[in-house]
Every structure is written in C-alpha cells, then in structure tokens.
Amino acid sequence: MTKILAKIIIEMMGAPKEYIEKTLKDYLEKLKKDGIKIKTEVIEDAQKQGELFSTFAELDIEFDKLEDLFGFCFDSMPSSIEIIEPEELHLTSEDFSNYLNDLQAKLHEVDMVVKTTRAQNAILDKNAMNVFKNFISYLCKDGMTLEEMSKIVGIEGKNLQKFVDILIKEDKIKKEGDKYLKK
C-alpha cells in the first residue's frame, strides 16, 4: 500500500497556560522520538476557555500504512483527521473488520473509564458533602450567623444557605434568631 499523508489536529486543555503549551510541545517531541513522521507542524498559542486554557497543533503526518494511522488515532485521540494522499484507499473486508473491532475495543475501554470515573466522582461528591456539612455543623457549635459562616468557608451566603437548610432538615442544626446552633 502507498504511504498516507494526513492532516491531523491534536488539542489539549489545562492550566496554567505555560504548562499546557509546554505539555503539547513535549508530546509532539515524544511522537517524533516514537517514529511518527511529522512533516509540518503549526502550534497555536493557548487561549483562555473558562478556567482553563486550550491549545492545538495542526500536523501533516506521513504513515507507511493504514494500520499505522489507525494505531496513531487509537493512541493519540486526535480531534480531526483529513487524508490528503492518496485520494483513494482500498481495504479488504478482513482488514476493515479488524479496524472496526479495534475501534469497538477502544470505545468499550473509554466507556469503562467514563463509568468508573462517574462512580468515583459520585463517591467523592458524597464524601465532600459530608465533610462540608460536618464543618458547617462544627461552626454552629457556639452559634454563628450565615454571614459569619460565609466569611470562614468562602461561599456566598445565598449559596451557603442551601447547605444550612439541608442541615436544618436533617435536624443537625437549628436557627435561633439570626444564629445557627448545633443540636
């Protein structure tokens, strides 16, 4: 089979800006050391997106065979791929089936990671909520106003009120005047 030239975009997101830009450059150097034939590369400066920064590299990469391109895609998870050359690719049904099975295996692996991460996040959220509720309850041991608690925990009173209301509903604290007290 003839060589394949593809235009590939690899994106990264993180913080701080300098870190994410260095991480992308280091990643491209690793690809080169691993034998990936990058013919041209354009790296964009990181742009702020909310709390994080996003950057990307546009690469022209030459692959010796289609199998190498698929392997690269599975390992690097590029955000975009455009085949430049050749104009036509010919596959046997066996090769195409193998590529589809590799794709399915990767999708199942990613799905398992997502499900595991969601379950771990749910546990962490529950534990963090319990710690936070215990902290608020502790603050109320001698009585404290919502504003006083807000200054200590660093959360605006209107957002903190939701947690205080939960603790009142759970019968762990009570309100007397403008102060909240631990039961």
Q: How confident is the model at residue 23 (pLDDT cuts 50, 70, 90)?
A: very high
How does pLDDT run across 103-154, given as a tens digit for each residue?
888 889 889 999 999 999 999 999 998 998 889 998 999 899 999 999 998 8
**What's the full length of the chain, in residues?**
183
pTM value is 0.62
Q: Where does 61-140 have alpha helices with state H?
A: 66-76, 93-139
What is the rounded average pLDDT for all residues in the chain? 91
2-21 mean pLDDT: 93
**SS3 breakdown of the chain: % helix, strand, coil, rounded to 5?**
55, 25, 20
pLDDT score of 145:
93
Q: Structural domain boundaries of the chain?
A: 4-89, 116-182
CATH number attached to the domain at 4-89? 3.30.70
| CA–CA separation, 135 and 137 (whole Å) | 5
How does pLDDT run across 76-106, given as a tens digit for each residue?
889 999 999 998 888 889 988 988 898 888 8
Q: CATH: 1.10.1740, 3.30.70, 1.10.10, 1.10.287. Which one for 116-182?
A: 1.10.10
